[in-house]
Amino acid sequence: MTQTDAPGITALDIRDVSIEYGRGKRLKRVVHGVSLRVGVGETVALVGESGSGKTSLAMAALGLTPIAEGSITVNGKTIDPRNRGGVVDAGAQAVFQSPYSSLDPALPISAILAQSVVHLKLSRREAAKRSLAVLDEVGIPPAAMERYPREFSGGQRQRIAIARAMMPRPRLIVCDEPTSALDLSIQAQVVNLLLDLQEAHGISYLVISHDLALMKHLATRMYVMLRGRIVEEGPALDIYNAPSDAYTRALIDAAPLPNPGAQRLRRAQAAAARATA
| DSSP sequence for 161-181 | HHHHHHTT--SEEEEESTTTT
Same domain, 153 and 164: yes
Name which residue leads in pLDDT, 138 or 257: 138
Same domain, 183 and 107: no
The mean-pLDDT minimum among 40-54, 78-92, 151-165 falls in 78-92
Let me know if residue 268 belongs to a domain.
Answer: no
Per-residue pLDDT tens over the stretch 238-254: 999 999 999 898 888 87
pLDDT given for residue 253 in this prediction: 81
Mean pLDDT across the stretch 82-97? 78
pLDDT given for residue 7 in this prediction: 47
Let me know if residue 272 belongs to a domain.
Answer: no
Same domain, 86 and 24: yes
| Domain end call among 117, 152, 168 | 168
Residue 54 DSSP SS3: helix
pLDDT given for residue 160 in this prediction: 96
pLDDT given for residue 87 in this prediction: 74
Same domain, 87 and 189: yes
High-pLDDT (> 70) share of the chain, %: 86
Q: Please classify residue 15 by burial: count the beta carbons closer than 10 Å to its beta carbon, then call 0-12 exposed, 13-18 middle and 19+ buried.
A: middle
Per-residue pLDDT tens over the stretch 176-200: 998 887 888 888 899 999 999 999 9
| Domain end call among 131, 151, 168 | 168
Per-residue pLDDT tens over the stretch 50-66: 899 999 999 999 888 88
From the list 149, 157, 232, 162, the residue with the least C-alpha distance to 191 is 162
> Distance of CA 56 to CAs 67, 86, 208, Å?
10, 18, 10
In which domain, by residue range, is 11 found? 1-91+170-242
Let me know if residue 263 belongs to a domain.
Answer: no
Mean pLDDT across the stretch 223-247? 94
Indicate if the alpha-carbon torsion angle 8, 73, 164, 97 is positive or negative. Answer: positive
- If one counts the domains in the chain, the total is 2
Same domain, 155 and 182: no
Name which residue leads in pLDDT, 210 or 148: 148
Same domain, 147 and 35: no
Asked if residues 100 and 125 have their Cβ atoms less than 8 Å apart, the reply is no
Mean per-residue pLDDT of the chain? 87
CATH number for position 182 = 3.40.50.300
Check pLDDT > 60 for residue 270.
no
Same domain, 1 and 21: yes
**Strand pairing category for 229-235 and 221-226:** antiparallel
Let me know if residue 66 belongs to a domain.
Answer: yes
Check pLDDT > 90 for residue 156.
yes
Confidence at 83, pLDDT banded by 50, 70, 90: low
Let me know if residue 238 belongs to a domain.
Answer: yes
